[in-house]
């Protein structure tokens, strides 16, 4: 077993590498070895902790945004276009979503409250609001009905 400063690096002691480094720097300072002054050792440890925290936050953000922005293949239905294969993309945590497919207009249903939404259709470069309010179907939760225009939009 090594003696002196190096014994704190051996994994027989529990803790992460950061904890072992902290113990090493603490031991180096108080054992008389002057590799670092107290302020320098504290700065090294705090820099390492900030780096670990920063990397963790970045990884969490990347995973969150990549999952939220990912379009999923779906089967869609609209009263005007019938059944077709489409891409379904959730836009927020409230349930707002967008469906799109080549050769078909893109639809966005923006959830206003539980079971109620407003619709938009993308015609080229502009979004056109659909008249009336959409209500989630009681028979099929993937479908939204507009009782004012007698239209239906579904995404499975």
At 29-50, the pLDDT tens digits run 555 555 555 666 566 667 777 7
149: pLDDT strictly greater than 90: yes
Amino acid 125: pLDDT: 85
Contact assessment for residue 116 and residue 134, using Cβ atoms and an 8 Å cutoff: yes
Contacts of the segment 48-57: beta carbons below 8 A, 24+ positions apart: 48/18, 48/21, 49/18, 52/18
Q: What pLDDT score was predicted for residue 23?
A: 73
List the chain domain ranges. Answer: 4-68, 72-155
pLDDT in tens, 1-18: 555 555 555 555 566 777
Question: Is residue 66 over pLDDT 70?
Answer: no
Residue 27 has pLDDT above 70, yes or no: no
Section 118-145 average pLDDT: 94
The confidence score (pLDDT) of residue 57 equals: 74
Q: Residue 99 has what pLDDT? A: 96
Provide the 3-class DSSP secondary structure of residue 118. Answer: strand
For the record, the structure tokens of 114 come out as 């539980």
Q: Given pLDDT bands bounded at 50, 70 and 90, which one contains residue 156?
A: very high
CA distance readout (Å), 110 to 50, 96, 103, 114: 39, 5, 22, 11
Q: Is 55 helix (H, G, I), strand (E, B) or coil?
A: helix
Q: What percent of the chain has pLDDT over 90?
A: 50
What is the distance of C-alpha 126 from the center of its chain?
A: 27
The whole-model pTM stands at 0.56
Report the sign of the C-alpha dihedral through residues 121, 128, 114, 67, in that order: positive
Name the packing angle between helices 17-30 and 38-68 (round to 10°): 170
| Of residues 152 and 23, more confidently modeled | 152
73 or 71, which is more confident? Answer: 73
72 contacts: CB under 8 Å, gap ≥ 6: 87, 88, 89
């Amino acid at each position: 077993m090594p003696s002196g400063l190096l014994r704190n690096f051996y994994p027989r002691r529990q803790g992460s590498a950061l904890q072992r480094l902290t113990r090493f720097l603490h031991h180096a300072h108080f054992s008389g070895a002057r590799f670092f002054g107290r302020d320098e050792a504290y700065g090294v440890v705090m820099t390492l902790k900030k780096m670990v925290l920063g990397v963790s936050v970045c990884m969490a953000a990347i995973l969150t945004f990549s999952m939220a922005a990912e379009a999923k293949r779906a089967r869609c239905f609209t009263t005007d276009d019938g059944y077709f294969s489409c891409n379904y993309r959730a836009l927020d945590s409230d349930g707002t979503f967008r469906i799109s497919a080549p050769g078909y207009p893109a639809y966005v249903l923006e959830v206003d409250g539980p079971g109620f939404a407003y619709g938009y259709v993308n015609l080229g470069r502009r979004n056109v609001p659909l008249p009336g309010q959409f209500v989630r179907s009681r028979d099929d939760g993937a479908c939204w009905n507009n009782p004012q225009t007698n239209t239906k939009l579904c995404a499975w």
